[in-house]
Structure 1
Amino acid sequence: MSKALSYTYNLFERLSRYHLDGRYLPDNNLAENAIRPLAVGRKGYLFCGNHDAAENAAIMYSLLGCCKASDVNPREWLTDVFSKIASYNANYNLDLADLLPHIWKKSNKCQGFPKDSD
């Protein structure tokens, strides 16, 4: 017990900085909540079928996570991207990065990510 108290006492100044600056949070809930969907589905991801399918699933999870982080409605984004992707493949002068959610949002009016209903 004394070891734990000594450890806390030695780090007390660093542990209590969050109340001096409003940018610091006393916990890491934002990070924990961001990775929760990955942690919940971890066992299920073992059975994607093969390595390529798992890689494709990871790409889709990443893109949908970008939609959520950018407050972009994934259905609107995917509908628009799927309608444009063929012209991007035919014209090498177009930059695929323009179709990423955070950039796409700037040139499109979207309603944002659907909110969870309580």
Structure 2
Amino acid sequence: MTLGRRNWTFAGSQRGADRAAVMLTLITTARLNDVDAKAWLADVLARIADLPASRLHELLPWEWKRLREADKPADQQAARPSRNAIIEPAAPTRVCQSCGLRRMRTL
């Protein structure tokens, strides 16, 4: 998926630009945490309405990934190559001191 280039010069409206920015932020954050953005978004959109507010943190990409890896057998975890070896982050990142995962820097 290519982010940016000339096709993002015109969003059509301010609301359209805001929506595109939100979606690109979600997708990039998932990618920076080695999460399949399509699978993560599909699961989040399917579960978010029924999840109590006290458990919404489980839908964050790094928590979602941790919970999914805990459910997999050890041999499946080792067989999947890291996506970071193929895809470079499109935005500057920082490493979270509390959990050690990469997150986008805010401007």
With the length of structure 1 as denominator, give the TM-score of the two structures.
0.50
The aligned counterpart of 2:36 is: 73
Give the CA RMSD over aligned residues: 2.7
C-alpha separation between the residues in 2 aligned to 1:113 and 1:84?
Answer: 25
With the length of structure 2 as denominator, give the TM-score of the two structures.
0.54
Matched, 1:104 2:67: no
Q: Greater strand percent: which structure?
A: 2
How many angstroms does 1:68 deviate by? Answer: 1.1
C-alpha separation between the residues in 1 aligned to 2:48 and 2:83?
Answer: 22
Q: Choose which of 59, 70, 73 in structure 1 pairs with 2:22.
A: 59
C-alpha separation between the residues in 2 aligned to 1:113 and 1:76?
Answer: 14
Q: Percent identity?
A: 28
Q: Greater helix percent: which structure?
A: 1
Higher relative contact order (CA 8 A, sep 6+): 2
Task: Please list, as runs of the form range in 1=range in 2, the aligned pairs for 1:14-53 lying within 5 A after superposition.
Answer: 38=3, 40-41=4-5, 43-53=6-16
Q: Which amino acid is the alignment partner of residue 59 of structure 2?
A: L
Aligned length: 75
